[in-house]
Amino acid sequence: MRTNFTPSQLTDAHLVEVERNLRACVHCGICTATCPTYVLLGDERDGPRGRIVMMQNMLEAGTAPTAETVLHIDRCLSCLACRTACPSSVNYAKLIDEARVHVQNTYRRQFGDRLMRWLIATIMPRPALVRAGLVLARIAAPIAFLLPGRLALMAAMGAHATAHPPEPPQRAILPNARRVALMPGCVQPALAPHIDQAVARVLARRGIELVPLEGAGCCGSLVHHLGRSEDSKNWARRAIEAFEQAGGAKSFEGVLITATGCSAHLKELANLFLDEPLWLPRARAFAGAARDFLDLATPSPAPAPRQMRITWQAPCSLQNGLNLAQRGADLLAAAGYELLTIPEGHLCCGSAGSYSILQPEISGRLRARKLGNIALLNAEAIATANIGCLNHLSGSDAPPVVHLAELLDWAEGGPEPVAMNRQNG
């Protein structure tokens, strides 16, 4: 594509990356077949090719976008299936991320939308506030229908979730263990602390000791996808400083966060600091140390086969960010589970961080489509590796949705996964 950025605009390191990726795009349209919103809505403006044109026009103009442009940018899930499919290696993430920052900084949203986004950015990155919000949602459940729009939806979603007290994983003190720092994350500790417990047990059997990274919090991906660049950088700086103060690469083999959406974000953390030369090398070092559970887990040396039909719902972050989806399937198969392939498995389930709150209609349709495809398989459980997918797909209309680590732990003698135990109970 031809671009028309001014020399002044191209002093911005982020816009330099935008221009490079715009120039690589040849508008072939191969990406559209992989885009969940285009497949669902059939609108060129809700596919990567159409959005790229709108984003280019908006960023070159440098002015506030139209409401139409914001609508279609907001509808993007950031699943990045388009990036995986692109024959020209266009990094769509660089485009949509910068577009969202521009929208956040120049566009005046309606009050209700601003309030919702502020609540997400304020509450969801902080486990204590998530727990408090879940308690309030349960109390307010009988009158949730009186709340306006998405606030009612948010309250209803919270009322069906269970808050858990802080529960750091027990450290396995092992002689000559490989030490890995563990970031606590944000939503997962409040909703499913048992996931980190299962991860710790699985890795301990492989000689890896997880050490909680004191002082680190949310990875910042939630606010990053809202276009709140300064908030995202602040969370990143906090994590980087915590890792450095704990000894960094001299003390740890790496730093782990057990939600794949978060680990995918951490591995690309340097992109946030392209315009900050003092922080860029520190961010690159931290990103180089970032690990996903599937980077560390290996097949069980003595699997205890479970005669269960499991469908592997690989999160978009695994498929299109970390490129570890097949490794997850291989580990489950090695543990003795019968794996079933989901039709249209490449399409997003509709969770996408806060997307299920901000775009409930599209998110709900994608969830129904995903569960409809899973229903064809008669699976006993759904395995996934991201708390967003797990929480979004769970419900009375779905088989138990279980984190991959829980299933591996169970096959190796650990406790039955929480979701399956609840159903059996």
Using CB atoms within 10 Å of the CB of residue 126, give its burial: 0 to 12 exposed, 13 to 18 middle, 19+ buried: middle
| Inside any domain, residue 166 | no
Does one domain contain both 115 and 199? no
Average pLDDT for the chain: 91
Pairwise CA distance, residues 108 & 111, whole Å: 9
End position of a domain, from candidates 234, 269, 296: 296
What CATH code is carried by the domain that includes residue 383?
A: 3.40.50
25 and 75 both lie in a single domain: yes
Same domain? For 122 and 99 the reply is no
Same domain, 285 and 320: no
pTM of the model: 0.91
Sorted by sequence, the CB contacts under 8 Å of residue 133 that are 6+ apart come out as: 123, 158
Beta-bridge partners for 210: 180
Going by the DSSP 8-state scheme, the letter that residue 209 receives in this structure is E
Q: Which long-range contacts (CB under 8 A, 24 or more apart) does 12-20 make?
A: 12/275, 13/274, 13/275, 14/94, 14/98, 14/101, 14/274, 14/275, 15/59, 15/98, 17/91, 17/94, 17/98, 17/271, 17/274, 18/59, 18/94, 18/95, 18/98
Which of the four pLDDT bands, split at 50, 70 and 90, describes residue 28?
A: very high
Give the CATH number of the domain where residue 97 resides. Answer: 1.10.1060.10
**Mean pLDDT calculated for residue range 192-204:** 93
Indicate whether 77 and 185 sit together in one domain: no
Looking at the structure, do residues 31 and 64 belong to the same domain, yes or no?
A: yes
* Residue 224 tokens, joined: 């990053």
- The answer, yes or no, to whether residue 178 has pLDDT greater than 60, is yes
**Does a structural domain hold residue 3?**
no
Give residue 155's pLDDT band: very low, low, confident or very high (50, 70, 90).
Answer: low
Q: Find out whether 272 and 234 touch, Cβ atoms under 8 Å.
A: no
Residue 200 identity: A
Q: Which residues contact 24 (CB under 8 A, 6 or more apart)?
A: 88, 89, 90
What is the 3-class SS of 215-259, one letter each residue? Answer: CCCCCCHHHHCCCCHHHHHHHHHHHHHHHHHCCHHHHCCEEECCC
- What confidence score (pLDDT) does residue 419 get? 86
Same domain, 102 and 151: no
pLDDT of residue 175: 73
In this predicted structure, the answer to whether residue 153 has a pLDDT above a threshold of 90 is no
Q: Per residue in 29-39, pLDDT tens?
A: 999 999 999 99
- Overall domain count for the chain: 4
Domain presence at residue 323:
yes
Beta strands in 344-424 (DSSP E): 381-384, 401-403
Task: Extract the tokens encoding 246.
Answer: 């704990």
Q: In angstroms, what CA-CA distances link 397 with 63, 271, 367, 383, 423?
A: 45, 39, 11, 16, 12
Measured in degrees and rounded to the nearest 5, phi and psi for residue 178 equal -80, 125
Per DSSP, 131 falls in state H
Kindly state the average pLDDT of the residues 137-151.
63
Domain of 133?
111-159
Rounded-to-integer distance, Cα 277 and Cα 404, Å: 38
Residue 135 has pLDDT above 90, yes or no: no
Domain boundary residue among 263, 296, 329? 296
CA dist list (Å): 61 to 6, 9, 106, 147? 10, 10, 12, 38
Res. 301: pLDDT tops 90? no
What pLDDT score does 90 carry? 96
Please indicate, yes or no, whether residues 345 and 413 belong to a single structural domain of this protein.
yes
> Rounded to an integer, what distance in angstroms lies between the CA atom of residue 148 and that of residue 151?
6
* Residue 32: other Cβ atoms inside 10 A: 19
Task: Assign 424 to helix, strand or coil.
Answer: helix
Q: How far is CA 69 from CA 46, 72, 105, 300, in A?
A: 10, 5, 15, 49
- Using the predicted structure, report yes or no on whether residue 148 has a pLDDT greater than 70: no
Which of 83, 106, 129 lies at the terminal end of a domain, its last residue?
A: 106
Residue 338 sits in the same domain as residue 406: yes
Instruction: Please say if the pLDDT value at position 317 is more than 60.
Output: yes
190 and 116 together in one domain: no
